[in-house]
Amino acid sequence: MAELRLGSLFDGIGVFPLAAVRCGVEPVWASEIEKAPVSITSRHFPHMAHLGDVTKLDGGAIPPVHVITFGSPCQNLSQIGNRTGLAGEKSSLFFHAIRIIREMREATNGLFPVIAVWENVMGAFSSNDRMDFRAVLSAFTDTDVSMPASGRWAGAGMVRGRTPDLCWRLMDAQHWASPRLARRQRIFLVADFGGRRSHEILFKPRTMQSLPAFGGDCGLPAACGDRGSFIEAGRRVPVTRPFQCFRMRASAKERSSEAFRNSFGLPTDPFPTLLASDVSPFAFWYADDPAGGCIRFPTETECERLMGLPEGWTKYGVNGEEILSSHRYRALGNAIALPCAEYIMAGIAEALAKGGANDGTPSPPALQTAKMRRRSIM
Domains detected in the chain: 5-218+330-377 (3.40.50.150), 238-297 (no CATH)
Task: List, in sequence order, every residue forming a beta bridge with 170; answer none if it has no partner.
Answer: 187
pLDDT at 341: 97
Nearest to 311 by CA among 209, 224, 240: 224
CA triple 46-201-63, angle to 5 deg:
35
Task: Give the three-class secondary structure for 21.
Answer: helix
Contact at 8 Å (CB) between 374 and 343?
no
Nearest to 10 by CA among 47, 39, 53, 44: 53
Between 32 and 230, the more confident residue is: 32
Contact at 8 Å (CB) between 360 and 112?
yes
Q: What's the mean pLDDT in 32-43? A: 97
Q: Which helix (H) or strand (E) holds 258?
A: helix 257-262
88-97, 261-270, 314-323, 364-373: segment of lowest average pLDDT = 364-373
Between 315 and 360, the more confident residue is: 315
Between 227 and 247, the more confident residue is: 247
Residue pLDDT, tens place only, 116-175: 999 999 988 988 889 899 999 999 999 999 999 999 999 999 999 778 999 999 999 999
Measured CA to CA, the distance from residue 319 to residue 324 in angstroms comes to: 14
pLDDT at 378: 34
- pLDDT of residue 87 exceeding 70, the answer is no
CA triple 247-252-257, angle to 5 deg:
85
Instruction: Kindly report the pTM of this predicted structure.
Output: 0.86
62-76, 128-142, 356-370: segment of lowest average pLDDT = 356-370
